[in-house]
Amino acid sequence: MINKQDLLKIGNKFFRSRLLIGTGKYQNLQLMRESLTLSDSEVVTVAVRRVQSEESGHQGLMEAIDWSDIWMLPNTAGCTNAEEAIRVARLGRELAKVAGQQENNFIKLEVIPDKHHLLPDPFGTLQAAEQLVKENFTVLPYINADPLLAKRLEEVGCATVMPLGSPIGSAQGIKNEANIALIIENSNIPVIVDAGIGVPSEAAHAMEMGADAVLVNSAIALAQDAPVMAKAMSKAVQAGRLAFLAGRLPQRSHAMPSSPTFGIITNSTTVQEK
């Protein structure tokens, strides 16, 4: 029997929705608000540097969201090394306080020196994570789908691991399935698939694999109808989670009849079901 109170636990917080969404790349704040509402998401990422600098598309962002209903997940987007990420994470904690979330220590940790492929730096990520955990942050590190790194980040005290499905914004779907499956199998903390998801079926697939949640930004924000895509992603995540909990039919190398064989007449002979 599936537990109707199947909640996602990150750190000391519980969430009903397993879809996390971003706030970047929307045509305007109204579309972002509508998408957020239809997604049913309770956790929204905010790029600290972009908000602090009032980068295009981020002016008014803090005022556009009702932070009494939405949990802020500040992120260190734009940081190229551990030192930058640690500094921006501290600013993110202050940003959450400005939003009225005094106890919010969440940080999505991104250390990305590669400006072309946007792949995260495993060494800088681990270094920053160790320090931020010491400073009582609830750390959600964005990583390559590396099972060994994922386990090490769990051991140093991270609240989740966030392996990429494929490169950021690529919409290639889950290209690292085998490694993500290993991460899920060996993890004692939530696994959130982040980056690369392009359509709802890919979000559902991640959840069917046993991921605890997915984070989607570009696939929603850059869709022709962002709010409708947000709703579709929400339903896909719910369906994928239910399918995982229900337990799929095992794959077979041969066919198996779905109807009973009892009573089938072949050449005047009745086949008795065994």
pLDDT the model gives residue 41: 95
Residue pLDDT, tens place only, 133-159? 999 999 999 999 999 999 999 999 999
* 201's tokens: 């079926």
Sign for the CA dihedral angle at 247, 248, 251, 252 comes to: positive
- Of the listed 97, 108, 134, 231, which one is catalytic? 108
Q: Is the pLDDT assigned to residue 5 strictly greater than 80?
A: no
In a domain, 173, yes or no: yes
* 230: its two tokens: 């947000």
Give the pLDDT score at 55.
54
The answer to whether 38 and 227 are in contact (CB under 8 A) is yes
Beta pairing partners, 110: none
Structural domain includes residue 1: no
Confidence grade of residue 58 (pLDDT, cut at 50, 70, 90) = low
pLDDT of 271 above 60: no
- Please report the DSSP string for 15-30 in residue order: ES--EEE--SS-SSHH
2 found inside a domain? no
- Supply 14's token pair: 């519980």
pLDDT value, residue 104: 95
Going from the C-alpha of 203 to that of each of 34, 153, 198, 211, 215, the distances in angstroms are: 20, 24, 8, 10, 9
Amino acid at 85: A
SS3 content of the chain, % helix, strand, coil (to 5): 40, 15, 45
Residue 134 lies in a domain: yes
Residue 55 in tokens: 């980068």
Please report whether residue 103 resides in a domain: yes
Using left for φ > 0, alpha for ψ between -120 and 50, and beta otherwise, residue 54 falls in: left
Q: Which amino acid is at 97?
A: K
pLDDT at 57: 53
Q: What is the CATH number of the domain that holds 232?
A: 3.20.20.70
Please indicate, yes or no, if residue 157 is contained in any of the structural domains. Answer: yes
Tell me, what's the pLDDT at 64? 87
What pTM was estimated for this model as a whole?
0.88
- Average pLDDT of span 220-243: 96
Residue 115 among the catalytic residues: no
Looking at the structure of the chain, the number of domains it has is 1
**What is the rounded CA–CA span in Å between residue 150 and residue 162?**
8
The percent of residues above 90 in pLDDT, for the chain, comes to 70
Domain that holds residue 257: 8-271
Average pLDDT for 202-215? 96
- pLDDT bucket at 60, cuts 50 / 70 / 90: confident
| Mean pLDDT, the chain, integer | 89
230 lies in a domain?
Answer: yes
Residue 3: inside a domain, yes or no? Answer: no
